């Protein structure tokens, strides 16, 4: 890389310096692996759709492929796909830097999974401001990941954690210094995800009558989400269930552990009481059919699915990891269970399903909490503030 008076030379091609805009709009480039499955991908799409277009020009660059959450996004943002990169691109992502420079963003906003490479490419391209959002990580996280991310943090102006426990983890493990960190809590569209009556569509689809409790979960079928623990817990619950019609467990989502989960279900002889729906685009309808919402995660940032379910008026029963306790708050803390404990999770389901009055009351409390603390407008406003503040503290 050669810096000249006219710009930056990358691989023999001259590209302009990245300079802050003198007038709006501020050009923001989001960088992510793909826009297929998961809360992070959905959240990025929500941020892009919600930005004030009179002040911000949105671009999205995927390093792999677009995926489901890219549908319709081209109406509010310019979409880009990274070129094929060599195995050495982690050391020197020249092609990516050239592409970033051609977009000429004033701000590059990286997301979990691309931090090191994308931040390096942004600095090579002369981008003035880099923001990174950490959406969640293992706890404890591998030492090698910490080392790589700590290097990325040095060239990042602001590191955003989606929950206070995640911020504390990043500081404690020396991934990022406290002075560069802030918390922006995830938010959801509370008008879109609102309580609605159960029209019976889900029950007809999965073949259960109106008296059968439905324990529902939506998420990526990956180890970090703890679905093996959930299957264990559900098998134990069924084996001792005496409170009327046996419940059904409904899982919506895809991921690398699907085959393992299917195998566990068969081995435990509970296939007639479990439904794997795969990826769905009708989460609102699913929430309307669920009796309660559950998660068995080993680690979480601030779960978008949990916020959606609570916004839809569902009582949550989730593991006490990451940002989950903060999402539930003091009024719903009794619905938290330890991670890696199938007996505790099953007992929490049983307690919730036995007392329908408390279940409904906690669903209403869940809705009220999201309205009060986790609105999408508050989240987007905070990101807009970060985009509009340069490294010296000035606001455009």
The answer to whether the CB of 180 falls within 8 A of the CB of 157 is: yes
* pLDDT score recorded for residue 393: 38
Mean model confidence pLDDT for the chain: 90
* pLDDT score recorded for residue 143: 86
DSSP 142: P
How far, in Å, CA of 28 to CA of 20, rounded? 11
Domains and CATH numbers, the chain: 21-187+376-387 (3.40.50.2000), 201-373 (3.40.50.2000)
Q: What does the pLDDT profile of the chain (396 residues) look like in tens digits? A: 333 333 444 444 444 444 444 467 999 999 999 998 778 998 999 999 999 999 999 999 999 999 888 889 999 999 999 988 877 777 889 999 999 999 999 999 999 989 999 999 999 999 999 999 999 887 777 888 889 999 999 999 999 999 898 999 999 999 999 999 999 999 999 999 999 999 999 999 999 999 999 999 999 999 999 999 999 999 999 999 998 999 999 999 999 999 999 999 999 999 999 999 998 989 999 999 999 999 999 988 889 999 999 999 999 999 999 889 999 999 999 999 999 999 999 999 999 999 999 999 999 999 999 999 999 999 999 999 999 986 443 333
* pLDDT score recorded for residue 142: 81
* pLDDT score recorded for residue 17: 44
Q: How far is CA 242 from the centre of its chain?
A: 37
* pLDDT score recorded for residue 141: 76
* pLDDT score recorded for residue 162: 92
Q: Which residue has the tokens 């941020």?
A: 47
* pLDDT score recorded for residue 12: 46
* pLDDT score recorded for residue 155: 94
* pLDDT score recorded for residue 23: 67
How far, in Å, CA of 90 to CA of 114, rounded? 10
pLDDT tens readout for residues 296-327: 999 888 899 999 999 999 999 999 998 899 99
* φ/ψ of residue 355, rounded to 5: -120, 85
Copy the structure tokens of residue 220: 């990526």
Where does the chain have alpha helices with state H?
39-50, 94-103, 115-124, 143-154, 164-172, 201-206, 227-239, 258-267, 283-289, 304-311, 324-328, 342-354, 356-373, 376-387
pLDDT tens readout for residues 383-395: 999 999 864 433 3
pLDDT tens readout for residues 145-182: 889 999 999 999 999 999 898 999 999 999 999 999 99
How far, in Å, CA of 385 to CA of 396, rounded? 10
Q: How far is CA 94 from the centre of its chain?
A: 29
User: DSSP 3-state assignment of 100?
Assistant: helix
DSSP 37: S
How far, in Å, CA of 351 to CA of 6, rounded? 68
How far, in Å, CA of 122 to CA of 97, rounded? 6
* pLDDT score recorded for residue 78: 95
Identify the burial level of 168 via C-beta atoms within 10 angstroms of its C-beta, where 0-12 means exposed, 13-18 middle and 19 or more buried: middle
Q: With a threshold of 0.85, does the pTM exceed it?
A: no
Taking Cα atoms as reference points, which of 198, 196, 195, 154 lies closest to residue 176?
154
Taking Cα atoms as reference points, which of 130, 113, 112 lies closest to residue 121?
130
């Amino acid at each position: 890389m050669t810096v000249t008076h006219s710009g930056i030379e990358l691989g023999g091609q001259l590209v302009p310096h990245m300079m802050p805009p003198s007038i709006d709009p501020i050009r923001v480039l989001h960088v992510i692996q793909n826009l297929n499955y998961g809360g992070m991908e959905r959240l990025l799409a929500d941020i892009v759709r919600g930005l004030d277009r009179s002040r911000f020009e949105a671009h999205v660059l995927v390093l792999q492929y677009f995926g489901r959450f890219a549908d319709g996004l081209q109406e509010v943002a310019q979409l880009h796909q990274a070129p094929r990169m060599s195995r050495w691109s982690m050391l020197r992502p020249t092609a990516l830097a050239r592409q970033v420079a051609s977009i000429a963003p004033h701000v590059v906003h990286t997301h979990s999974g691309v931090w090191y490479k994308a931040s390096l490419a942004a600095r090579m391209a002369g981008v003035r401001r880099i923001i990174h959002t950490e959406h969640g990580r293992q706890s404890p996280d591998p030492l090698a990941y910490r080392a790589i991310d700590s290097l990325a943090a040095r060239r990042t102006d602001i590191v955003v954690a989606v929950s206070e426990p995640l911020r504390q983890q990043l500081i404690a493990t020396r991934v990022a210094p406290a002075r560069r960190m802030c918390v922006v809590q995830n938010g959801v569209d509370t008008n879109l995800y609102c309580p609605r009556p159960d029209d019976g569509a889900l029950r007809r689809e999965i073949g259960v009558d109106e008296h059968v409790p439905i324990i529902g979960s939506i998420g990526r079928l990956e180890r970090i989400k703890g679905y093996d623990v959930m299957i264990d817990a559900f098998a134990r619950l069924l084996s001792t269930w005496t409170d009327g019609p046996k419940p059904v467990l409904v899982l919506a989502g895809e991921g690398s552990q699907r085959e393992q989960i299917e195998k566990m279900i068969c081995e435990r002889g509970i296939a007639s009481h479990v439904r794997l729906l795969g990826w769905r685009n009708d989460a609102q309808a699913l929430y309307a059919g669920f009796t309660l919402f559950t998660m068995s995660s080993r680690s979480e940032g601030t779960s978008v699915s949990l916020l959606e379910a609570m916004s839809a008026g569902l009582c949550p029963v989730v593991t006490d990891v990451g940002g989950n306790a903060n999402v539930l708050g003091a009024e719903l803390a009794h619905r938290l269970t330890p991670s890696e404990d199938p007996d505790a999770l099953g007992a929490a389901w049983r307690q919730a399903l036995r007392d329908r009055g408390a279940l409904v009351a906690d669903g209403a409390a869940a809705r009220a909490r999201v309205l009060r603390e986790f609105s999408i407008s508050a989240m987007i406003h905070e990101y807009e503030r970060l985009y509009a503040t340069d490294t010296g503290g000035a606001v455009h």
